[in-house]
Chain A
Amino acid sequence: MNTAPANMVELHDIVKVYPNGTRALKGVSFNVKKGSFLAVIGLSGSGKSTMLRCVNRLHQPTSGKVIFDGNDITHVGEDELRHARQHIGMVFQQFNLIKRRDVLTNVLAGRLGEWGALPFGGVFSRWPKEWVEEAYAALNMVGIADKALVRADGLSGGQQQRVAIARTIMQKPKLLLADEPVASLDPSTSNSVMNYLKMLNEEHGVTVVCNLHFLSLVRDYSTDVVALRGGEKVFEGKPTDITPQWFKDIYGEQAKEVEIH
């Protein structure tokens, strides 16, 4: 391949049926351009989280194809998948930190992928000095280097999410998947967390796919929007294209827009 692919992720007709019979995704296709900040909107249960987890195959799609950076990773084996995942960061609504370990360990854990080839996954290895320095640098970027040796469960929600972002920075990802990263945070903390994501996107060239609930955040931060409803894509375009009619289509007739900035 001479030319680098223009799309970071291509989803082709992704179907996901859970073992209990729930059809979470009913054939969703879209592309994520390199360097874009794609917001995915839709009601709870519309399949946003499932879609995100299909990209890095935390959930195995029932059918369809996932192309990441030009490579089809839908059915690759575990080693190759791990290799791909090293380039895909992820932040979660519930932060998913190792609560009983200090912040520094949590950030360093972002690099565990590089130890994947070691016999015990690096369980018995010491963190290299350079990694520790990089981890401090990552913590500095999100402004909580002073908390490095505090246990993760001693931090507030916003701080925990920043640690999770630092863990992702440690990974040096090409793509960042964010699963409702601000849904359990207050409005002002939400904005600071979104700003860190924006910084990664603009200054470090990380492509971001972010599930969001608030249209105001979508308009403020994203470059592209995809909307899901009932496991199907109902809208794809620019955030400025979302008219009140579209809003009602996506969220239902009864919906009323709530704003946070």
Chain B
Amino acid sequence: MKIPHFVPLIPHERKKRELTGFLVEVLTWGYIAVVLARIVYWGILLPRVEDLAFAEPPVEWAKSLLALAGYDRYAEFSWTALGWCFLAGAGIGALVGSTGRGMGTWLSSISRLQVNNPEDSIRIDKHWSYARKEGLLVLLLTVVTGWVLTKVDLASMFAAEGLQGAGRMLLQISCGLPGVGANVGGVSLFDGIQGFLNLGVSAYNGIGGALSWSPLSPFGQGCVPTDAEYYGLALTRLSESIYLAFMATFFSVPIAFILAFFAARNLTRHSRIMRAAYLIVRVYINVTRSIEPIIWAILFAVWIGIGPFAGSIALMIHSIASLVKQYSEAIEGVDDGPMEALAATGANRIATAWYAVVPQVVLPYLAFTIYRWDINVRMATIIGLVGGGGIGGLLIQEQGLANWSKVGTIAFLIFVVVWSMDFLSARVREAIQ
């Protein structure tokens, strides 16, 4: 587990790094063993053998192989076996780790220190040649595992029924966009899209005819554009979303403003009480921020009832946490010269923060706040999915009824609002910076 002397490391960290490297190596090999067992053995090999063993007629060698593995009928995956695999892997890892050449040691030896001697860099390169191979193996195994676990199925992506279903939905959605279904001189954009998709159908049938696939019927749908009344309804609900986002942002600003001072490292170092406050605020914002607003909306929809109020509270909880984080980082980045100067005059800490810190952070705060409103408008459009009010509720309702053209209309309106908010907020932020 010793890291050779030519690998540059901070001297007093060397022991720690060596130990870390060894532990990472053990874990890495445990992982390799578990993955090999779970994916290659239980996931790929055993099912194949099973298929053969229970095929008609059964393949004898596969049957005896299954019996050899200790299964009389189905191969059941077991946690205990997996545990033993991990231990076995860890054993190998310990052996590899003790040589000091493994990937774990390699990773833990990476530091910002520069190698000055060119000969050393060659030696280092040679030293880690095994580690690189191990890294490649881990990467490869992980990709294979991912492939199996996410059930990658390329065939289904190109299955004819799926494609045709998607085509129908696409047509209906596009019908909901304003202007697409409008009839101009006997032709509409909708007819154009349908004709284009039918080209694909013809091509499929052309190739399929030669290969004797069953032919697909061409798309032949009508388009009834969304009526103006529905636009009115959708716009009402959309404005609910925008105002919900505004309320959430507006009320989170003063709270975040105050909390941010307690979440900034440079203002909370001096006393035990402030360090405790720092810890509490940081824990609070990390917890609330790591839970997505949509989860908060589910909670508040149950607590205070379905509607925009629940949605705005949910967004507010999340906004406070995010703003405190950004605000406090702005505070940590201020020039501490003015703070030093005011502290030197005997001003107390609140006055120092107010006169020396606040003027420096007002503009960044404004930019963060506008950006947060922008994000909140985007979030507000989907928070209705779980009962948070706004356009999202309407969206999920139409999706449930398979009213795809109305879904298209809503998606279009959301796009317009989010895009213009994005544009506006970018312009404003540019102007004030």
Q: Cβ of A111: which chain B residues have Cβ within 8 Å of it? A: 345
B346 at the binding interface (Cβ < 8 Å): yes
Q: Which of B96-104, B170-178, B335-343 contacts A (4 or more CB under 8 A)?
A: B335-343
Residues from 293 to 347 in B contacting A, C-beta threshold 8 Å: 337-338, 340-347
Contact assessment for B348 and A85 in the assembled complex, using a CB-CB cutoff below 8 Å: no
Q: Cβ of B348: which chain A residues have Cβ within 8 Å of it? A: 82, 112, 115-116, 121
Q: How far is the CA of A138 from the CA of B137 in the complex (A)?
A: 74
Contact assessment for B359 and A98 in the assembled complex, using a CB-CB cutoff below 8 Å: yes
Which of B341, B351, B356, B360 is most buried by chain A, counting CB atoms within 10 A of its CB? B341
Q: How far is the CA of A86 from the CA of B356 in the complex (A)?
A: 17
Chain A interface size range? 35 or more
Contact assessment for A112 and B341 in the assembled complex, using a CB-CB cutoff below 8 Å: no
B354 at the binding interface (Cβ < 8 Å): yes
Considering only CB atoms, which chain A residue lies closest to B343 in the complex?
A58
Contact assessment for A98 and B355 in the assembled complex, using a CB-CB cutoff below 8 Å: yes
Cβ distance B38 to chain A, nearest Cβ, rounded Å: 47
Q: Cβ of B152: which chain A residues have Cβ within 8 Å of it? A: none
Q: How far is the CA of A70 from the CA of B110 in the complex (A)?
A: 54
Cβ distance B353 to chain A, nearest Cβ, rounded Å: 8
Q: How far is the CA of A130 from the CA of B63 in the complex (A)?
A: 102
Contact assessment for A85 and B343 in the assembled complex, using a CB-CB cutoff below 8 Å: yes
Q: How far is the CA of A96 from the CA of B357 in the complex (A)?
A: 12
Contact assessment for A122 and B351 in the assembled complex, using a CB-CB cutoff below 8 Å: yes
A250 at the binding interface (Cβ < 8 Å): no
Contact assessment for A121 and B347 in the assembled complex, using a CB-CB cutoff below 8 Å: yes
Considering only CB atoms, which chain A residue lies closest to B357 in the complex?
A98
Residues from 347 to 375 in B contacting A, C-beta threshold 8 Å: 347-352, 354-356, 359-360, 362
Q: Cβ of A88: which chain B residues have Cβ within 8 Å of it? A: 344, 346
Q: How far is the CA of A97 from the CA of B346 in the complex (A)?
A: 15
Q: Cβ of A120: which chain B residues have Cβ within 8 Å of it? A: 350-351, 354
Residues in A lying within 8 Å of B, measured CB to CB: 56, 58, 82-86, 88-90, 92, 94-101, 105, 109-113, 115-116, 120-123, 164, 167, 171, 177
- Can you pick out 13 interface pairs between chain A and chain B where the beta carbons lie within 8 Å of each other? A56-B344, A85-B345, A89-B344, A90-B344, A90-B345, A92-B341, A98-B359, A100-B362, A109-B347, A110-B345, A112-B347, A112-B348, A171-B345
